[in-house]
């Protein structure tokens, strides 16, 4: 629901978000009160140490203060648990209870100071257990006050002015003047929102140099974030509840859908042979894409043996052998690449670990097994790479021979341009092909590196007509439809399971936001129950029929309470927002330009049940899909783990070694992913 309005401003917390923190504090306060009662009863009638009057007053006052706090917390928890996300009527008294609870911090602070004075001045000769108990009570008071201050800072909303009440109907001239003032107000609010997001990014990236390129990136990302988050009136817990409901709804639809019929193909089928050959190549080149991450991924994938293998190589002096390497001060990155790929020092033409915004590490090597000059681009591994990822506005990318609109992800396009200039202007590719003129060019990468590799391949296509690109888990919002169609002849994108990143684009995020707004508006359960059941469902599963989300049985007395509709969760109309009466994806009508995955899409999924034992063998299924099947974000616990490079490499190795998989060469028209 909308953020709670107290103390004259809107906060980043709703009136139904106080259940869990209230229960935690209530549990602590009850234990504290019981301990104080025991201490008071133990000393009742014989406060015979120094300062006994102060100690007696402290214990009695503490019992009274704790009793009032416990009662106020019980009321807050009970009231906060009433209603639903969009039905705040039963929680109308929450602001008054918050004011009461805030007032009770004053006597608690006074009593904490009183206890501290007694311990420091009048506790001599008293029972050490009593002194320790009072010290514990004083420390507990200060800790709770500290956590309260941290919580207030955490939920503070710099843009948290209360939403203005809708104005009454006025004559036309007055209404036009108010409309102009409202537009000016929203323009000022948007400018302020951009500045706030820019300050947040600067604070988050305070360790980075504040040069012109970083300032431009901060400004671009801030405008994107402010536009995306400023048109809704939801708090973080509303989004979490919506994601939990969407996951359950998605699983319910999957379970109710009839199993798809897979047509059998003969072993000599050209489509199947093409798929099997591409899987073999993809498994091979994924090793190089994963190796580009350097020692962090190598250590993560080889926890027992990795540190021992690298310890003998790092910091060793090899000045002559490392002439091609730049930016690897301790040589650990390059050593891990050697271990991961099995190549020799002489096989590397150029290795760069230089990393700035729009400038990402890559290496060029000779792959003798596949007779290829290989360019491998690293994925996201630093804060600078994250800024490159988040620069998601569109940028024109004119490609010779491509008709139609040509544009691409700005940050990734800039990164591809940087590597392109290094390869061509510095003569790196000329040097490689002078060593192996008969080899072909192959470009690969994972995640950010996959998107960069695809755009780099598109830029180099006219100069190297036979090049190939293997793009593993590329970002979904990458290139326009015209460039995506153009790249199908030489780019293969590999996507594992329900990976979030290949489905991540601004239109898809707008679609997800619309679906969250719709599902939380139609849910009859209080938020705390949604979150509890959502956590249980993610951890242990369950029957999706036990998680109803639609408001089917509204009673008249329920509807008599103030109910926030779907439209009332929108602060102001957004260019990307559609009416809830339509179920069409805004990806088709949003003002944000649609961006797609590059090339042909090879989708790998797990065969069998969604939830399986940790010791059961994983069976994979591979099929050709298309970029239109990734227009909606799937909610799943594996939406992030499926993106990890080691998971992609493990799936490809499983597909090509013992072949515990099924080849499903479905046509592009019939290959559609399950969407929410």
Task: Report in angstroms the alpha-carbon separations of 644 from 95, 297, 651.
Answer: 44, 10, 11
SS (H, E, C) 334-374: HHHHHHHHCCCHHHEEEEECCCECCECCEEEEEECCCCEEE
Q: Is the dihedral of CA 55, 61, 65, 71 positive or negative?
A: positive
In terms of Cα–Cα distance, which of 16, 159, 164 is closest to 81? 16
Helical ranges in 234-324 per DSSP H: 236-256, 270-291, 295-301, 306-311
In terms of Cα–Cα distance, which of 645, 606, 409 is closest to 498? 606
Task: Report in angstroms the alpha-carbon separations of 609 from 251, 540, 606, 612.
Answer: 12, 14, 8, 6
Crossing angle of helices 172-204 and 212-229, rounded to 10°:
130
434: its two tokens:
């002078």
Helical ranges in 88-235 per DSSP H: 94-103, 105-117, 128-155, 172-204, 212-229
Is 485 in the active site? no
Q: Is the dihedral of CA 36, 39, 42, 46 positive or negative?
A: negative
If one counts every other C-beta atom within 10 angstroms of the C-beta of residue 656, the result is 17
Which bin fits 624, alpha (ψ -120 to 50), beta or left (φ > 0)?
A: beta
Instruction: Out of 237, 447, 480, 625, pick the active-site residue.
Output: 447
The separation between CA 374 and the C-alpha centre of its own chain, rounded to angstroms, equals: 31
Contact of 379 with 445, CB cutoff 8 Å: yes
Is 499 in the active site? yes
What is the total residue count of the chain? Answer: 676
Could you tell me the end-to-end alpha-carbon distance of the chain, in angstroms, rounded to an integer?
A: 22
Instruction: Out of 389, 499, 511, 642, pick the active-site residue.
Output: 499
The C-alpha atoms of residue 426 and residue 447 are separated, in whole angstroms, by: 26
The C-alpha atoms of residue 570 and residue 573 are separated, in whole angstroms, by: 7
What are the residue numbers of the active site?
447, 499
């Amino acid at each position: 629901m909308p953020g709670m309005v107290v103390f004259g401003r809107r906060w980043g917390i709703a009136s139904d978000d106080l259940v869990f923190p209230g229960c935690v504090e209530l549990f602590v306060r009850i234990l504290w009160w019981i301990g104080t009662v025991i201490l008071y009863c133990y000393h009742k009638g014989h406060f015979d140490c120094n300062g006994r009057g102060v100690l007696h007053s402290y214990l009695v006052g503490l019992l009274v203060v704790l009793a009032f706090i416990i009662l106020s917390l019980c009321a807050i928890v009970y009231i906060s648990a009433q209603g639903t996300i969009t039905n705040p009527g039963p929680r109308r008294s929450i602001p008054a209870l918050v004011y009461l609870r805030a007032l009770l911090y004053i006597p608690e602070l006074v009593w904490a100071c009183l206890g501290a004075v007694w311990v420091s001045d009048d506790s001599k000769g008293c029972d050490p257990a009593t002194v320790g108990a009072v010290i514990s009570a004083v420390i507990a008071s200060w800790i709770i006050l500290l956590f309260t201050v941290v919580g207030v800072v955490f939920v503070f909303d710099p843009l948290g002015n209360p939403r203005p009440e809708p104005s009454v109907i006025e004559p036309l001239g007055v209404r036009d003047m108010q409309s102009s003032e409202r537009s000016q107000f929203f323009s000022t609010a948007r400018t302020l929102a951009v500045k706030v997001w820019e300050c947040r990014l600067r604070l988050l990236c305070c360790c980075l140099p504040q040069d012109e390129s970083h300032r431009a990136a901060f400004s671009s990302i801030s405008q994107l974030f402010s536009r995306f988050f400023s048109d809704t009136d939801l708090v973080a817990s509303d989004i979490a509840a919506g994601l939990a409901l969407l996951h359950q709804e998605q699983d319910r639809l999957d379970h109710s859908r009839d199993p798809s019929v897979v047509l059998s193909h003969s072993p000599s089928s050209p489509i199947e042979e093409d798929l099997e050959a591409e899987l073999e190549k993809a498994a091979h080149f994924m090793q190089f894409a994963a190796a580009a991450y350097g020692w962090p991924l190598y250590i993560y994938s080889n926890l027992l043996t990795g540190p021992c293998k690298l310890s003998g190589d790092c910091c060793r002096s090899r000045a002559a052998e490392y002439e091609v390497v730049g930016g690897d001060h301790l040589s650990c990155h390059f050593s891990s690449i050697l271990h991961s790929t099995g190549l020799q020092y002489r096989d590397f033409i150029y290795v760069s670990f230089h990393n700035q915004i729009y400038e990402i590490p890559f290496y060029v090597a000779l792959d003798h097994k596949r007779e290829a000059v290989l360019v491998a681009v690293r994925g996201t591994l630093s804060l600078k790479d994250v800024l490159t990822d988040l620069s998601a506005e569109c940028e024109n990318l004119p490609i010779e021979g491509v008709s139609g609109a040509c544009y691409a992800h700005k940050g990734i396009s800039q990164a591809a341009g940087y590597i392109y200039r290094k390869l061509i202007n510095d003569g790196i590719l000329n040097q490689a092909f002078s060593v192996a003129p008969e080899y072909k060019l192959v470009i690969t990468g994972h995640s950010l590196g996959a998107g960069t590799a695809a755009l780099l391949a598109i830029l180099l296509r006219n100069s190297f007509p036979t090049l190939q690109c293997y793009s593993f888990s590329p970002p979904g919002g990458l290139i326009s439809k015209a460039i995506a169609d153009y790249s199908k002849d030489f780019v293969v994108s590999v996507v594992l399971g329900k990976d979030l990143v290949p489905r991540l684009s601004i239109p898809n995020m707008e679609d997800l936001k619309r679906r969250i707004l719709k599902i939380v508006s139609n849910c009859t359960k209080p938020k705390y129950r949604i979150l509890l059941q959502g956590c249980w469902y993610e951890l242990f599963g369950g029957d999706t029929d036990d998680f109803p989300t639609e408001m089917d049985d509204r009673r008249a007395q329920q509807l008599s309470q103030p109910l926030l509709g779907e439209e009332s969760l929108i602060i102001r109309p957004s260019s990307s927002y559609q009416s809830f009466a339509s179920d069409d994806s805004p990806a088709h009508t949003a003002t944000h330009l649609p961006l797609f995955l590059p090339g042909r899409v090879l989708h790998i999924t797990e065969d069998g049940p969604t939830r399986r034992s940790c010791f059961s063998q994983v069976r994979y299924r591979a099929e050709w899909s298309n970029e239109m099947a990734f227009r909606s974000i799937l909610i799943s616990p594996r939406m992030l783990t499926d993106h990890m490079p080691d998971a992609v490499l493990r799936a490809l190795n499983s597909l090509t070694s013992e072949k515990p998989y099924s080849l499903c060469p479905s046509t592009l028209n019939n290959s559609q992913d399950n969407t929410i």
